[in-house]
Structure 1
Amino acid sequence: MVSPIAYLNFGVLCLAQTCYYKQVHLSYGNNVSEVIVTYSTFDTVSVLQPTVWYKENNTDDKYRQVFGTASLFVDGGPKKHKQFISRVKLTNLKPDTSYLYYVRLVNMSRQAYSFRTPKPNPSLVIFGDLGKENAQSLDRLIKDTQSGMYDAALHVGDFAYDMDSDNAEVGDAFMRQIEPVAAYIPYMTCPGNHEEKYNFSNYRNRFSMPGGRDIPYYSFNLGNLHIISISTEVYYFINYGIKEMVNQYYWLESDLKEANKPENRKKQPWIIIMGHRPMYCTNDNPADCKRHSTFTRVGIPYFHIFGLEPLLYKYGVDLAIWAHEHSYERLWPIYNYHVYNGSIDEPYRNPMAPVHITTGSAGCKEGRSPFNNNTWPAFSAFRSSDYGYTRFKSYNNSHVYLEQVSDDKNGDIIDSFWIIKEGKNGPYPKFYNSSMD
């Protein structure tokens, strides 16, 4: 909880500007039967006891009242922009059940929101690099969400462009902008390079991920999926030290070992990892895509230790999701620049290496990441610079389906594929010496 002195100091600021709340967004807690409601406020009275009321939808039950905690967030910019961020955890939620909830603050009418706990075979919407300006896909994402298409969203890094801009007022505007999505489905995230300012403070404070504010990596089980979120940025911003990179590497290996225990892989046969910067890309981008060895793939320069690709292969990660490039790209099953399709006719049936996609084309002020059409490497199966986003559906323990929505083409599906595993989820075979280049 925030100290009384902080409340008094912040009250002066609240008198000097419009006191408002919102920026309401959801995330999963320690498991998917817990949902955390996060919101911001400048009202010093209301945050004395952050409160959410909720009940099952379509019932005559009374609303249950749940209390949470608030923390004071001070942006690192020159104006030291201040706000309280409140977190309220709803627990013991029933599976596949619709709930109504609202946050009610002083001198404000309540606004009801709703969410549904996930189904056994969940549906996701996946995208990265969504900005406050030029948020091309947002209207379509809102429409999809409000129609009940998704159980959760995965935002794969880079928010607002940038949340710290204009003394964090861009971050406030962005969080309000995504509320029609993020207040209705859990909005699960990972950090990108555009969150770096002030040691990722806007990202750490605004979002409530299972790892907590001090740990930028986590995992959770969603139906028959085991989803892992990592920070690729620990490899690139070593000015903050390398401890977090080393800790993440060993945490990830431990998490993957646990996920591969027979009893766990039986319940969650699909392992999905998401991180911002891709291990492979073919965009016309010398810094990211024309070097043979990305740090996240092979490890830190010269020493090539703590590279993550061998872990993905060794522990049978099924799908790796990236963003950063403002485009969409699907790869053939790949490891160490070798393609390992299931077969010539059905490359994603029993693939013999992880499948990678890059989906960073939601729309931002930096525009698109073009491809060099004179060069199309053999490991790239499909690519597009259209604005859009990815839909994912788990049908059962052997079939998952992905499709790419083009906002440029009025919601047309420009790419789709199935990944099929017939009782073969698990570590991939060792075809060759897997030492990294």
Structure 2
Amino acid sequence: MTSLPPLLLLCVCVCAAAVPPVGTQPEQVHISYPGVSGSMLVTWSTANETESVVEFGVWGGQLFSRSAKGNSSVFINEGLERRSVFIHRVTLTDLRPGTAYVYHCGSGSGWSDVFSFTALNESVSFSPRFAVFGDMGNENPQSLSRLQKDTQMGMYDAILHIGDFAYDMDEDNGRIGDEFMKQIQSIAAYTPYMTCPGNHESAFNFSHYRGRFSMPGHTENLWYSWNVGPAHIISFSTEVYFYLEYGLDLLFRQYEWLRKDLEEANRPENRALRPWIITMAHRPMYCSDDDGDDCTRFQSYVRIGRSDTTPPAPGLEELFYQHGVDLELWAHEHTYERLWPVYGFKVFNGSSEEPYVNPKAPVHIITGSAGCREKHDGFIPKPRDWSAFRSTDYGYTRMRLINYTHLYLEQVSDDQYGKVIDQIMLVKEKHGPDAWL
């Protein structure tokens, strides 16, 4: 056998190494509720262009008896390599509420593993269960393994990830984002994974967040609302107050959308059906961490707005108070903090004995300790008057909407092997702005 000259052999090796692998295998599978009755949206990625197909069927019935087609779009990471992937989206329709389905996604060029989900129970008397957290990264995702086990045990009907993913999705030309989406597939392919943007998604005008997720509405996932059980849940972006280079108009558009959405949710017939109004967004209006961030360095832009813009930008505390928002979920601070019912820095407990029974102001929960490469934040030594409980343990929050009047929250410490370190029952016999009277 004749051997190749060393220089020619090197050339052959280099040329062979330059040929990129073919990637038609689905990965990064996750589901979300698209806000349309009897539906579920499946999203996944491939390195190369393929068809977008989901085959599915009722659990225990004929496997893959139904098929749905969707479409894909090219997503280009704007880093030096200009890496591109294909994001596939397929909406499954005519699902029976509360029914378990099995599915896989892909095409004739490659299929995913087989996953399952339960179609959303659309009854207003449904008591949904949630995992709630923010600030979980590809490195040091401390709470992920416990969340994986919880999900495998069927503990949640939806997951609320309140901003900051991967740290950061755009890094290494988008490979960190790819790896993170593979990590969360173990929970997000089985349970609707509902999101909002955080500051760590800001690169390239939040393109990774807008491109990788699939939330209800037509606002590129930046703000939306959806109904589940007795609740109307609103997700929005606090980042419009900070990244003005991407357009001040976004701030005003979101504010106007929030105002209209809250007005609609407060129509008597709607508030009677879904009395709980819950918001989720990344940067909190209040916190007692010592990192000099928005809520400790100065008056929160999210809370009171910005006076340094033209026109001045309105804040959200007054809007939420006027429309009787019951519960506000936040992250950003890498800690857990539960507040007393608060408005305008004043505590409005229901009573000294039962502060969360018929409170006279919204309740705030900060849950940003799921785990990331930035580790923990610390607290100022002396808590504020409105701060009820604080923990620097890694962990996450569980929430259950029990019925029209009772909502349960608990904080799980991963540092303490899943111990529940805090819990409250929020009781509201009256909802809406009249509840504050």
Fold match (TM-score > 0.5): yes
Rounded to whole Å, the distance in 2 between the matches of 1:346 and 1:26 is 39
In the other structure, the counterpart of 2:375 is 367
1:15–1:103 CA distance, 2 compared to 1 (3 A): farther
In the other structure, the counterpart of 2:99 is 97
Shift of 1:291: 3.1
Rounded to whole Å, the distance in 1 between the matches of 2:352 and 2:220 is 45
Of 298, 307, 310, 1:301 maps to 307
Shift of 1:262: 1.1
1:18–1:367 CA distance, 2 compared to 1 (3 A): farther
Q: Are 1:376 and 2:383 matched, yes or no?
A: yes
Shift of 1:212: 3.5
CA contact (8 A) 1:314 1:428 kept: no
Rounded to whole Å, the distance in 1 between the matches of 2:354 and 2:240 is 36
CA contact (8 A) 2:142 2:371 kept: yes
Rounded to whole Å, the distance in 2 between the matches of 1:13 and 1:141 is 39
Rounded to whole Å, the distance in 2 between the matches of 1:116 and 1:148 is 10
TM-score (norm 1): 0.92
Of 28, 32, 42, 1:37 maps to 42
Shift of 1:33: 2.3
CA contact (8 A) 2:139 2:373 kept: yes
TM-score (norm 2): 0.92
Of 315, 322, 326, 1:318 maps to 326
In the other structure, the counterpart of 2:135 is 129
CA contact (8 A) 1:348 1:420 kept: yes
1:361–1:430 CA distance, 2 compared to 1 (3 A): closer
In the other structure, the counterpart of 1:218 is 224
1:394–1:13 CA distance, 2 compared to 1 (3 A): farther
In the other structure, the counterpart of 2:30 is 25
CA contact (8 A) 1:330 1:383 kept: yes
Rounded to whole Å, the distance in 2 between the matches of 1:215 and 1:54 is 26
Shift of 1:213: 5.5
1:168 is paired with a residue whose SS is: helix
Residues 247-326 of structure 1 correspond to what in structure 2 (within 5 A)? 247-302=253-308, 305-326=313-334
CA contact (8 A) 2:395 2:414 kept: yes
Name the stretch that deviates more: 100-109 or 86-95. Answer: 100-109
CA contact (8 A) 2:361 2:436 kept: no
1:43–1:32 CA distance, 2 compared to 1 (3 A): same
Shift of 1:58: 1.5
Name the stretch that deviates more: 58-67 or 398-407. Answer: 58-67
Structure having the higher Rg:
2
Q: Are 1:386 and 2:390 matched, yes or no?
A: no
Shift of 1:15: 5.5
Q: CA-to-partner distance for each residue in 1:14-37, whole Å, 9 max, x for gaps?
A: 951251421000011133522110
Aligned amino acid, residue 277 of structure 2: I
CA contact (8 A) 1:14 1:43 kept: no
Rounded to whole Å, the distance in 2 between the matches of 1:307 and 1:38 is 34
Q: Are 1:148 and 2:154 matched, yes or no?
A: yes
1:16 is paired with a residue whose SS is: coil
Rounded to whole Å, the distance in 2 between the matches of 1:13 and 1:115 is 40
1:220–1:430 CA distance, 2 compared to 1 (3 A): closer
Shift of 1:305: 3.8
Rounded to whole Å, the distance in 1 between the matches of 2:37 and 2:368 is 26
1:286 is paired with a residue whose SS is: coil
In the other structure, the counterpart of 1:235 is 241
CA contact (8 A) 1:190 1:230 kept: yes
Rounded to whole Å, the distance in 2 between the matches of 1:104 and 1:302 is 49
Q: CA-to-partner distance for each residue in 1:33-63, whole Å, 9 max, x for gaps?
A: 221100000132xx2x300011111123652
Shift of 1:77: 0.3
CA contact (8 A) 1:192 1:324 kept: yes
2:35 is paired with a residue whose SS is: coil
Q: CA RMSD in A?
A: 1.8
Rounded to whole Å, the distance in 2 between the matches of 1:89 and 1:282 is 42
Equivalences, count = 415
Aligned amino acid, residue 66 of structure 1: A
In the other structure, the counterpart of 1:182 is 188
In the other structure, the counterpart of 2:3 is none
Rounded to whole Å, the distance in 1 between the matches of 2:295 and 2:317 is 16
In the other structure, the counterpart of 1:54 is 56
Which ranges of structure 2 fall in alignment gaps of 5 or more residues? Answer: 1-15
1:381–1:13 CA distance, 2 compared to 1 (3 A): farther
Aligned amino acid, residue 57 of structure 1: W
Shift of 1:13: 12
Aligned amino acid, residue 372 of structure 1: I
1:111 is paired with a residue whose SS is: coil
CA contact (8 A) 1:260 1:426 kept: yes
Rounded to whole Å, the distance in 2 between the matches of 1:14 and 1:317 is 56
Shift of 1:301: 3.0
Q: Are 1:66 and 2:68 matched, yes or no?
A: yes
Q: CA-to-partner distance for each residue in 1:347-395, whole Å, 9 max, x for gaps?
A: 111111100000000000000011122x111100001000000000011
2:206 is paired with a residue whose SS is: helix
In the other structure, the counterpart of 1:6 is none
2:293 is paired with a residue whose SS is: helix
Rounded to whole Å, the distance in 1 between the matches of 2:425 and 2:315 is 28
CA contact (8 A) 1:117 1:151 kept: no
Shift of 1:108: 3.4
Name the stretch that deviates more: 103-112 or 344-353. Answer: 103-112
Q: CA-to-partner distance for each residue in 1:47-104, whole Å, 9 max, x for gaps?
A: 2x30001111112365201000100000110000100000000112111111111014
In the other structure, the counterpart of 2:209 is 203
CA contact (8 A) 1:73 1:82 kept: yes
In the other structure, the counterpart of 2:8 is none
Q: CA-to-partner distance for each residue in 1:165-209, whole Å, 9 max, x for gaps?
A: 000000000000000110000100000000000000000000001
1:167 is paired with a residue whose SS is: helix
Name the stretch that deviates more: 157-166 or 59-68. Answer: 59-68
In the other structure, the counterpart of 2:145 is 139
